[in-house]
Structure 1
Amino acid sequence: MNMAELLRRSVGAGAKRPAVAYGNQVLQDYQSLAARASALAAGLRQRFALEPGDRVALAMKNCPEYLEVLYGLWWGGFAAVPMNAKLHPREFAYMLEHCGARLCFTTSDLSAAVGGVTAGLPEMLEVIEAGSSDYEALFSTGETTQPHPSGRDDLAWLFYTSGTTGRPKGAMLSHGNLLAMTACYLADVDAIAPQDTILHAAPMSHGSGLYLVPHVAAGACNLVPESGGFDAEEVLDLLQHHHGVTAFFAPTMIRRLVEHPATAAADLSNLKTIVYGGAPMYVADVERALGVLGNRLAQIYGQGESPMCITALPKHLYADRTHPRWRERIASAGQAQLLMEVAVVGEGDRPLPPGESGEVIVRGPAVMQGYWADAEATAATLAGGWLHTGDLGALDEDGFLTLMDRSKDVIISGGSNIYPREVEEVLLRHPGVAECSVIGAPDADWGEITVAFVVMRGGAEPDPQALDRLCLEEIARFKRPKHYRFIDALPKSNYGKILKTELRKLMESQTAS
């Protein structure tokens, strides 16, 4: 089933419902969005002779045109390659060449950077700036009334991973994968009504863009802030003008919203749900957010290879404070989503009993088709029919998954495993600690020792002795950090993930000097 059919279905259910808003202004209803998508598909076929399956890239910051481009590509049977708008030109060049993109849509701020690296790409036909005269000309050739009859296994979204262990790999997500993700969202994450709104303050090239699919399926409105990104004050203002608002935020965005001076007194009645993912959220931060925002949090755990779709922890479980293991549950990533199977395994993919840590693996209809042009990586990652996530976790008796860390981030000290998140959770209980991240450092005697990078709250004095006492009260002595490094801010990716590779480089440079 072509994802564009979900757009066409929403037109039939409510053609005049708001589909796209920019700031406080509604720009398109469902009928006009579908007409623009249909016209774009026809224009791409006529002007560039694109064939179903051709890859078309999006190097675009969040903007209203994102939706008509994405659905126009699907309407024509083409595959979208959304790229992070903050990438370096060389990274754009690699992805464009690797996937053999025929075209690239950009926003004005990225046109020069992308245009400068495409001249030598053999498959590239043109770079098209959204909103330009060339762009608008694509809509003038007529309409294609029916979406291309794409099959469930046909490529819809080619998502390039972050590349923390080498060159990024292109996870091939089919129309069937996105349909499964949509079903899981509606079953396990949150219900969506036609009068609801999704606020795209996180990158539409990633999770927020994926979640526009279930919102279009439900006939809800897609709201793009005028800033094109996350600004806590702007978010609070938009809540006064739009109803039933959901947003997908990284944990760092939630923290910034919670700590904004205006949030505590703001009218949040129009805020329905904040879905978070991309990184775990510490218990102290969850409790603080629930206290300020109310029962509006839902969590998902997924990867680019299983888009937003491994486990979920919905709002009603955050609200169930009477449960005897409530704190353990809000520290978890929830249970397997409706269509997915999750297991924790040891050596040789041997299933492990509840409570024992191992690698998280998953299978189900949301798992990718494989990696683009990389049969070896596909075979390794999908061995035995399961997606091997590289994440470490443990399942409890009720099927709740608690994530420990990426397997490469586990610290092995004196032969014992230390999970950084366990130490970080303890450090964050100190009232003066705003953020922290724990990594391992080479040590001649122990193999590795634990080092904590700590960001203090404004006005709080660094006190390693107090942090050490706290750790000794809560965890085994061998797990406590041997060194504390106090810094002004933790390095983070565009999606809010803490970059432990950058912390390791910082530690090495400080040691060398």
Structure 2
Amino acid sequence: MSAADLLTSDFAVLPDILRAHAAEQPDKIAVADAVSTLSYAELDALMDRIAAALQRDGVRQGQSVAIVASASVEYAAVFMGTLRAGCVAAPLAPSSTPESLAAMIADCGAPIVFVDGENAAAIAGQDIAAKQVRLDTEEFRDWLAPEGAKPVPVTIGPEDGFNIIYSSGTTGTPKGIVQSHRMRWSHIGRNSAGGYGDAVTMNSTPLYSNTTLVSFLPTLAWGGTSVLMKKFDARGFLALAEQHRATHAMLVPVQYQRLMAVPDFDSFDLSSFVMKTSTSAPFSAALKADIVARWPGRLVEFYGMTEGGASTGLDCTAFPDKLHTVGQPFPGHDMRLIDDDGNEVPQGETGEVVGRSPAMMTGYHGRQQATADAEWYDKQGNRYIRHGDIGRFDEDGFLILMDRKKDLIISGGFNIYPVDLEAVLKQHPAVQECTVIGVPSEAWGETPVGFYVPNTGIDAGADEIMAWTNAQLGKTQRLSALHAIDELPRSAIGKVLKRELRDRLAAEAT
């Protein structure tokens, strides 16, 4: 079948689609990094050699293949070759502790793990039974099946595992989120109107992140070109985008913030851009407006979860009056709000977000109770995923997010949403960026504490900034303390790690 026939069918698997692209456009670049490229024909042949080598080594269909490495064309080929063998890709975050990496490799049951030189030390000394193969040396080339090798064909069903994405582990042991081929197929189909067939997509977040995969996978599926950045820096991104005449990018809000702050941003030729997308963290209305005004192409914000559920989209270019929202649920996505007792709340009221769609995780790998805790069922028995966020729908059905449920501060019986306090705090000219957390309080149960990164050249201390902020807040919302900090701790995809700030305060108190 042609790639077009596969992409318009009821279900197809990505390895078959890539095979069709290799036949139809063999010389088109599929993946590029800073040092090398793979055309669709080269990617397809390398996938065959990887899949055949996995089968030769006794890796069975349905088993996991772990990857601990920075983004590269070899990484992309191993991910895709794993799928062609009918195995499940387990891309792991090299930034995790060695103990966590060893635990994740054991949890997913991977008999083989691919590493690069930069990250080999991350698992050195750990008791890991899996065979290790270095991606960035001749060891990888020696491990491959011979040129021209073909794997034994496998049949892949919609519910078979595509990948396992592990949670960050900042609130406990990382959980493996199992995503099926059906779920990834829905992501590919959802982007049918995204123009990915002619895309040159900038992927500057890690390949172990679902944030990256929701743009990387559709780019390959629709026959575009993915440009991989090993490590993001704002000026380097702009230069690379200009060089490659990039059309698409998935960036997290902190990356947009740093890009728009580049003094000569407007001197870069970004006229080739068709669409920019964002997800994974709160995205301020002011920053969205700045991007719409100064960066060509549409800006679309996605809201959803790695676990799936329901997703929303906001075309910021088309709805400039809705930039304070995350948009409306996609067609076929059922999103509802529930109270603490699991009852749906009326229109306009605040509740916990739950969602249902074709894009839903199978469950947490080996964790039945954790899977059950993440589910909600309506009166008809339909399964929904709890998003863990608190929000409300406006009169037009656009979702306004209030905060993460776990970050809600209950002080003296009042609900305090950190995002509300952050919105005021960041308005002070001495504040570059900020966050607010809840800490234990004998008097109030919890109390809000703020952290901020100072703006250089503005003389204002933490006490002065806190007094100014509290003057703008309601009596029950006021900050009890404010700390200056050189840099907010963030994950690789830009989420502020509030747990690290809580731990820091706890350590200082002892």
Task: Tell whether the structures are fold-level matches, with TM greater than 0.5.
Answer: yes
The 1:104/1:265 distance shift into structure 2, 3 A limit, reads same
What do residues 14-43 of structure 1 show as CA deviations (whole Å, max 9, x unaligned)?
Answer: 2222112223x7622111111111221112
Spell out, residue by residue over 1:67-121, the C-alpha distance to the aligned partner (whole angstroms, 9 max, x if none): 11111011110100000122221111000111111100111212243353244x3
Distance 1:272 1:241, change over 3 A: same
Distance 1:79 1:484, change over 3 A: same
Matched, 1:297 2:299: yes
The residue that corresponds to 2:394 in the other structure is 396
Give the aligned partner of residue 386 of structure 1: 384
Given the alignment of the two structures, is residue 414 of structure 1 paired with residue 412 of structure 2, yes or no? yes
Taking the aligned partners of 1:495 and 1:455, their CA distance within structure 2 comes to 19
Q: How does 1:88-99 map to 2 (within 5 A)?
A: 88-99=97-108
Match among 6, 19, 23 for residue 8 of structure 1 = 19
Q: Aligned to 1:109, what secondary structure does the other structure show?
A: helix
Aligned-partner Cα distance in 1 for 2:357–2:318 = 29
Q: Residue 201 of structure 2: which of 198, 201, 205 is its match?
A: 198
Count residues in correspondence. Answer: 491
Indicate if the aligned counterparts of 1:195 and 1:243 stay in contact, CA closer than 8 A. Answer: no
Counterpart of 2:37 in structure 1: which amino acid?
A: L
- Residues 327-370 of structure 1 deviation map (CA, whole Å, 9 limit, x = unaligned): xx212221212332111111332111222211111111111001
The 5 Å alignment of 1:29-44 reads: 29-44=39-54
2:355 paired residue among 362, 369, 374? 362
Counterpart of 1:240 in 2: which secondary structure? helix
Query: SS state of the match for residue 201, structure 2?
Result: strand
Q: CA RMSD in A?
A: 2.2
- Residue matched to 1:152: 158
CA distance in 2, matches of 1:466, 1:111: 45
When residues 193 and 369 of structure 1 are mapped into structure 2, their CA distance, relative to the original with a 3 A threshold, is closer
SS at match of 2:184: helix
1:67 paired with 2:70, answer: no
**CA–CA distance in structure 2, aligned partners of residues 376 and 466 of structure 1:** 44
Partner of 1:334: 327
> How far does residue 435 in structure 1 lie from its aligned partner after superposition?
0.6
Give the AA of the match of 2:212. S
Query: Aligned residues: percent identity?
Result: 31
Q: 2:197 aligns to what SS in structure 1? A: coil
TM-score, normalised to structure 2, is 0.90
User: What letter matches 2:308 in structure 1?
Assistant: S
Do the aligned partners of residues 146 and 461 (structure 1) sit closer, same or farther apart at CA in structure 2, a change above 3 Å counting?
farther
- Which residue does 2:188 correspond to in 1? 182
In structure 2, the CA distance between the partners of 1:155 and 1:389, relative to structure 1 (3 Å rule), is same
Give distance in 2, aligned partners of 1:360 and 1:460.
40
CA distance change for structure 1 residues 468 and 272 in 2, over 3 Å: closer, same or farther? farther
Unpaired stretches in structure 2, ≥5 consecutive residues: 1-11, 378-382
Residue number in structure 2 paired with 1:265: 267
Q: What is the deviation of 1:499?
A: 1.2
Preserved contact between residue 233 and residue 262 of structure 1 (Cα < 8 Å): no
Asked whether 1:22 is paired with 2:33, we answer yes
Offset of residue 466 of structure 1? 5.3
Amino acid at match of 1:80: A
Structure 1: distance between partners of 2:398 and 2:153? 40
Q: Supply the distance in 1 between the matched residues of 2:65 and 2:36 (Cα, whole angstroms).
A: 27
Post-superposition Cα deviations, 1:234-258, rounded to whole Å, max 9, x if no partner, equal 1111122212432222211111111
- Looking at structure 2, the residues matched to 444 and 130 of structure 1 have their Cα atoms a distance apart, in angstroms, of 53
The answer (yes or no) to whether the contact 2:38–2:73 under 8 Å persists in 1 is no
CA distance in 1 between counterparts of 2:299 and 2:18 reads 27
* Cα displacement (A) at 1:141: 6.0
Please state how far the C-alpha of 1:279 moved relative to its aligned partner: 0.8
SS at match of 2:103: helix
| Worse-matched range after superposition: 410-419 or 460-469 | 460-469
| Residue 111 (1) aligns with residue 120 (2) | yes
1:230 and 1:193 mapped to 2: Cα distance?
Answer: 22
Q: Is the 8 A contact 2:196 2:224 kept in 1?
A: yes
Task: Determine helix, strand or coil for the equivalent of 1:152.
Answer: coil
Q: Cα gap change, 1:465/1:355 in structure 2, threshold over 3 Å: closer, same or farther? A: farther
- 1:133 and 2:138 are equivalent in the alignment: yes
The whole-number CA distance in structure 2 between the counterparts of 1:299 and 1:5 is 30
Q: 1:199-232, CA deviations, whole angstroms, 9 ceiling, x for partnerless residues?
A: 121111112134211001111001123xx11011
* Corresponding residue for residue 460 of structure 1: 458
Q: Cα deviations across residues 403-423 of structure 1 (Å, max 9, x unaligned)?
A: 222212111112110100011
| Change beyond 3 A, Cα 1:114–1:507 | closer
Distance 1:230 1:117 in 2: 29
SS in 2 for 1:390: strand
Quick one: structure 1 residues 224 and 163, their matched pair in 2 at CA, closer, same or farther if it must change by over 3 Å? same
Kept after mapping to 1: 8 A contact 2:205/2:492:
no
Shift in CA distance, 312/412, structure 1 to aligned 2, threshold 3 Å: same
Question: Alignment partner of 2:277: what SS?
Answer: strand
Give the drift of 1:446: 2.3
SS of aligned partner of 1:441: strand
Kindly indicate whether the alpha-carbon contact (under 8 Å) linking 1:5 and 1:147 is maintained by their aligned counterparts in 2. no
Which piece of structure 1 moves more, 419-428 or 291-300? 291-300
> What amino acid is aligned across from residue 221 of structure 2 in structure 1?
A
Q: What SS does structure 1 have at the residue aligned with 2:49? A: helix
**Residue by residue, what CA displacement relative to the aligned partner does 1:392-434 show, whole Å, maximum 9, x if unpaired?**
1112232211222221211111211010001111222223321
Distance 2:153 2:352 in 1: 40
8 Å CA contact retained: 1:195, 1:244: no
Q: TM-score, normalised by structure 1?
A: 0.90
Aligned counterparts of 1:347 and 1:439: Cα–Cα separation in 2? 21
The answer on whether the counterparts of 2:437 and 2:448 sit within 8 Å (CA) in structure 1 is yes
Q: Is the 8 A contact 1:453 1:486 kept in 2?
A: yes
